[in-house]
């Protein structure tokens, strides 16, 4: 498969194996949640690979050295509720100093349009790198609406982390936000008539929290 511009598919064997386990319908909620948290560490490693560094002088037990540290203001992780929280905890394990924002959105089941019910993001967001988290990019209506709100709040350097994307969602998101790169573990075949990703893994929020 040719990867479209601005999208990185993480083909690491650990990611692919864990994703395959998550897709299986018999995978229990508890296992699904652990797998998503494990994959989030690996996606975080990839999506933070271009964070800026600055050299500082430190003392090791033996001598001085100049060594790199993360530069600039702290990273912001923004979870699209609910399922974005499944990626958040693992990412915070890797970047514990990150600030956290939340965007509450659900898809209207008839129109598939995103309906916002909550929005809270950290201050000085324009000076910070922002990573938006949602495991599923289906029609991309949710991610497009979330990123519009986050840009309106002042964010300028945004990337999008997801687990599974549909080709339709990738195309819509890239059209709406060509400046926002996507990192995902897979691009599946298509959407069904209800906007679900095929073959997919079902409803990520329900599988994560056992609500169906």
Does 138 bind ligand URA (CB under 6 A)? Our answer is: yes
- Report which residue's Cβ sits closest to ligand PRP: 205
What is the closest distance, in whole angstroms, from the C-beta atom of residue 105 to ligand PRP in the complex?
Answer: 6
Which of residues 45, 106, 119, 196 is near ligand URA by CB under 6 A? 196
Helix 29-47 and helix 85-94, axial crossing angle in degrees, nearest 10: 50
Contact positions with ligand PRP (CB under 6 A) in 102-131: 106-107, 112, 114
Element of type H or E holding 81: strand 76-81
Give phi and psi for 191, each to the nearest 5. -100, 150
Give phi and psi for 10, each to the nearest 5. -85, 105
Does 140 bind ligand URA (CB under 6 A)? Our answer is: no
Q: Which is nearer to ligand URA, 141 or 159 (CB)?
A: 141
Q: Respond yes or no: is residue 37 known to be catalytic.
A: no
Which of residues 42, 203, 210, 212 is near ligand URA by CB under 6 A? 203
Q: Respond yes or no: is residue 3 known to be catalytic.
A: no
The burial of 124, by beta-carbon neighbours within 10 Å (0-12 exposed, 13-18 middle, 19 or more buried), is given as exposed
Does residue 37 sit in helix, strand or coil? helix
| Distance of alpha carbon 19 from the chain centroid | 15
Enumerate binding residues for ligand PRP (CB under 6 A). 80-83, 106-107, 112, 114, 134, 136-143, 169, 195, 203-205
């Amino acid at each position: 498969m040719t990867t479209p511009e601005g999208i990185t598919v993480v083909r690491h064997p650990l990611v692919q194996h864990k994703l395959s386990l998550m897709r299986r319908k018999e995978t229990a909620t508890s296992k699904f949640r652990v797998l998503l948290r494990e994959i989030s560490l690996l996606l975080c490693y990839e999506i933070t690979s271009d964070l800026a560094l600055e050299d500082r002088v430190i003392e090791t037990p033996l001598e001085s050295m100049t060594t790199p540290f993360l530069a600039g203001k702290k990273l912001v992780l923004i979870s699209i509720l609910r399922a974005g929280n499944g990626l958040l905890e693992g990412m915070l394990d890797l970047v514990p100093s990150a600030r956290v924002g939340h965007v509450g959105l659900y898809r209207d089941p008839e129109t598939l349009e995103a309906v916002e019910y909550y929005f809270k993001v950290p201050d000085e967001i324009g000076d910070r790198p922002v990573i938006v988290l949602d495991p599923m990019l289906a029609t991309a209506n949710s991610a497009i609406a979330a990123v519009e709100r986050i840009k309106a709040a002042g964010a300028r350097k945004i990337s999008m982390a997801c687990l599974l994307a549909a080709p339709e969602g990738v195309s819509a998101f890239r059209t709406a936000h060509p400046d926002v790169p996507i990192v995902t573990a897979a691009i599946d075949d298509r959407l069904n008539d209800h906007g679900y990703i095929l073959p997919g893994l079902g409803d990520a929020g329900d599988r994560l929290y056992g609500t169906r």
